[in-house]
Amino acid sequence: MASEETVDGGISYVTKRLRAEDHVATGVLTAIVAAILVVLVAIIGYIVASGASKAFDPHFLSAKPEQFKAGGGIGPELFNSFYLLVLTLLISLPISLGAAIFLTQYAPEGPVTNIAKTAIETLSSLPSIVVGLFGMLVFVLGAGWGFSIISGALALTMFNIPILVRVIQQALEAVPRDQRDAALALGLTRWEATIHILVPAAMPAIVTGVILSAGRVFGEAAALIYTAGQSAPALDFTNFNLASPSCPWNMFRPAETLAVHIWKINSEGVVPDLTAVSAGTAAVLMICILLFNVLARIVGRALERRLTAE
Amino acid sequence: MTSTTPLLATEDVTVSYSGKEALHPTSLSFEKGGVTALIGPSGCGKSTFLRSLNLMNREIPGCRIGGSILHHGKDVNTRGVDTYQLRKQIGMVFQQPNPFRKSIRENIAFAPKRHGLSGKANIDALVEESLRAAALWDEVKGKLDQSAYALSGGQQQRLCIARTLAMHPDVVLMDEPCSALDPIATYSIEETIRDMAKRGICVVIVTHNMEQAARVSDRTAFFLLGDMVEFGPTPELFSRPKDKRLDDYLTGRFG
């Protein structure tokens, strides 16, 4: 015991210092993470707690919003948010997948490819209000579609494509090169190797990325204010006349989403229960996005397990 | 001068990356049923040479293959060659086992199906035949639908060999196929190599391991700094090297 201490004391002047540093670093990092966690949990807890009474109320989730009296719901907004999301993914996913495959598998190294890559990176950090104003100029006014679902979906596509391309590109690049080599060495074409080997191997990462990007699209407001508009006509789910503004599937009707609704009632709302409606909407929006994130993990992990087998 | 054309031969094959020649003109020939080892220190050009034989180097941007590669006497290093057809006949096994992220069965059946094989009975027969040829059948016959990643490294490498054999190639190129494996797995791969040769397949194997070259190959080529220095029957090459550089390499003076 005594001898051990002397040995320890003998070698460990430096060791002790390093150990102390290690403790300090661990402590600081833990404190940072703890602080972030506290803030996050507080925000999420506050939003959910203040909106809970509304967010789990079926009437609030299905009824149409009121203009002047209390008791309105967010039924159309909830539907619009999902409808826009699905449309956006339907448009942006194939384009992004194609672009990412081209950039990782086919594009020759060179100035054109580099410009394309830089452009995509720049676009992915473009402020969404800029995307919204661009959408207003091109789709709402230029194409003459007015404030409509299609204008909103195309604006969101502009907003989503750069992110999706990067996610898919990274997923494809993370597949070991030897998978592609193996396919080519068996006499398969590059296209076969990509579609049958690389994309399936990258699928867990792609699916996770797509769902996470869906969360961003779902919560987006600025890009939609001037494209999908700020009004939500009452929807009649028995109406299949695609030209009617009350037909839910009509792509040329204005469609306020949850995020836009929050923005709008807070900036110009006059209903008496404004605070409650706003809090309830925020809680619904956040719960949806939380569910997206959980879903991303579960699906990603399940796919990964199916592919690699433990 | 042999009367028959060799199965595979190269005439002054060169490989350059972005204009820099990594392999200087190399002429070798490989016979049906023979095993040829390519040896030499790292970076000597042996793998580069191997990867030119099935034109895999063409997949690397900036890489140029010069000279002629004669497969059954026909030059395949041309613009018009059907690389896909060629790679069915000249198979390749890589350094790291690289099974597809699919089931054991699909690892074998995937490429033949893409090339037009159909019918469950045909596919099952091919899977069994290929796995038997790679001495893997008895170990995996009960779990063909499990993921290939559930296998050990040595089994994965034999699966990769089986996958290659399923194309019925007449040449199999192996790029240090045992370097990631333990001695027992290595032994079993070497058995498989001898077996393939017996069935008439021409095997070209790159190896770092001189004992391995001595054990499995009939002929050996020694590469150094991008040059093919010496080529001959393996026992002769190892016991009576003609070139001073090979002698130095064998006695461990460098490399």
Average confidence score pLDDT of chain B: 91
What mean pLDDT comes out for the span B154-173? Answer: 95
CB B162 within 8 A of CB B195: no
The pLDDT value recorded for residue A232 is: 81
Q: Do A49 and A75 fall into the same domain? A: no
Average pLDDT over residues A91-115: 91
Same domain, A15 and A117: no
The answer to whether B87 faces chain A, any CB pair under 8 Å, is yes
A229: Cβ–Cβ under 8 A, 6 or more apart, which residues?
A: A146, A147, A148, A152, A254, A255, A256
Q: Chain A closest CA to B112's CA: distance in Å?
A: 9
Statement: residue B26 has pLDDT above 90: yes
> Measuring CA to CA, how many Å separate B231 from each of A307, B11, B90, B178, B245?
44, 14, 22, 23, 13
Q: Is the pLDDT of residue A179 over 90?
A: yes
Distance from CA of B73 to the nearest CA of A (A): 20
What is the rounded distance in angstroms from the CA atom of residue B209 to the CA atom of residue B32? Answer: 24
Predicted confidence at residue B120, as pLDDT, reads 92
Class of residue A67 by CB neighbours under 10 A (exposed 0-12, middle 13-18, buried 19+): exposed
What mean pLDDT comes out for the span B87-101?
94
Whether the Cβ atoms of residue A244 and residue A250 lie closer than 8 Å to each other: yes
Closest alpha carbon to A77 in A252, A238, A260:
A260
Looking at the predicted structure, is the pLDDT value of residue A3 above 60? no
Query: Rounded to an integer, what distance in angstroms lies between the CA atom of residue A304 and that of residue B54?
Result: 33
The reply to whether A62 and A22 lie within a common domain is no
A129 and A220, same domain (yes or no) = yes
| Cα A19 from Cα A27, distance rounded (Å) | 12
Q: What is the mean pLDDT of residues A27-45?
A: 96
Assess whether A156 and A294 both reside in one domain. yes
> Does A50 share its domain with A196?
no
Say yes or no to pLDDT of B19 above 90.
no
Which tens digit of pLDDT belongs to each residue from B180-238? 889 999 999 999 999 999 999 999 999 988 899 999 999 999 999 999 999 999 999 99
Percentage of residues of chain A with pLDDT beyond 70? 95
- Are residue A199 and residue A160 in the same domain, yes or no? yes
User: Is residue A302 scored above 90 in pLDDT?
Assistant: no
Compute the nearest-CA separation of A165 from chain B (Å): 23
A34 with A122, same domain? no
A185:B56 CB<8 A: yes
Residue range(s) defining the domain that contains residue A11: 1-55
Whether B252 contacts chain A with CB within 8 A: no
For residue A118, what is the domain's CATH number? Answer: 1.10.3720.10
Is residue B4 scored above 80 in pLDDT? no
Residue ranges covered by each domain of chain B: 8-250
Q: Which of B59, B147, B167 sits opposite A186 (nearest CB)?
A: B167
pLDDT score, position A296: 87
pLDDT tens digits for range A123-136: 888 899 999 999 99
Written out in words, the top-level CATH class of the domain with range B8-250 is alpha beta
> Of A55, A70, A99, which residue constitutes the final position of a domain?
A55
Whether residue A110 lies within 8 A of chain B, CB to CB, comes out as no
Mean of the per-residue pLDDT values for chain A? 88
- pLDDT given for residue A163 in this prediction: 93
Q: What is the pLDDT of residue A100?
A: 94
Confidence (pLDDT) at A271: 86
Q: In total, how many domains does chain A have? A: 2
Write phi, then psi, for B16 (nearest 5 degrees). Answer: -130, 145
Domain boundary among A33, A55, A77: A55
Identify which of A179, A189, A201 has the shortest CB distance to residue B84. Answer: A189
Radius of gyration of chain B (CA): 18
Q: Are residues A123 and A214 in the same domain?
A: yes
Confidence class for position A71, pLDDT limits 50, 70, 90: confident
Split at pLDDT 50, 70, 90, the class of A9 is low
Which stretch of A62-76, A138-152, B131-145, B215-229 has the lowest confidence by average pLDDT? A62-76
Question: Which DSSP symbol is given to A122?
Answer: H
For residues A41 and A61, membership in a common domain is answered with no
The per-residue pLDDT for B255 is 54
Is A309–B85 a contact, with Cβ atoms under 8 angstroms apart? no
Report residue B218 as tokens: 């009939």
Contacts of A2 (CB under 8 A, 6+ apart): none
Six-digit token pair at A151? 């204008």
What strands lie across the sheet with B74-75, from one edge to the other? B20-30, B8-17, B63-71, B74-75
- Tens-place pLDDT, residues A150-168: 999 999 999 999 999 999 9
**CB of B245 within 8 Å of any CB in chain A?**
no
| ipTM attached to this prediction | 0.90
pLDDT at B137: 94
Task: Specify whether the CB–CB gap between B181 and B190 falls below 8 A.
Answer: no
Nearest to A214 by CA among A153, A285, A160, A162: A160
Over range B138-148, report the average pLDDT.
91
Which regions of A33-134 does DSSP assign to beta strands (E)? Answer: none
Q: Which tens digits make up the pLDDT trace of A182-207?
A: 999 999 999 999 999 999 899 989 99
Q: Are residues A170 and A22 in the same domain?
A: no
Residue A100 neighbours by CB distance under 10 Å: 24
Please state the rounded mean pLDDT for residues A1-21: 66
Residue B92 contacts A where some CB pair is shorter than 8 Å = yes
3-state secondary structure of A66: coil
Is the domain of A198 the same as that of A276?
Answer: yes
pLDDT tens for B226-248 read 999 999 999 999 999 999 999 99
Q: Given a cut of 90, is residue A310 above it in pLDDT?
A: no
User: Are the beta carbons of B61 and A196 separated by less than 8 Å?
Assistant: no
Burial class (CB in 10 A: 0-12, 13-18, 19+), A94: exposed
pLDDT surpassing 80 at residue B138 = yes
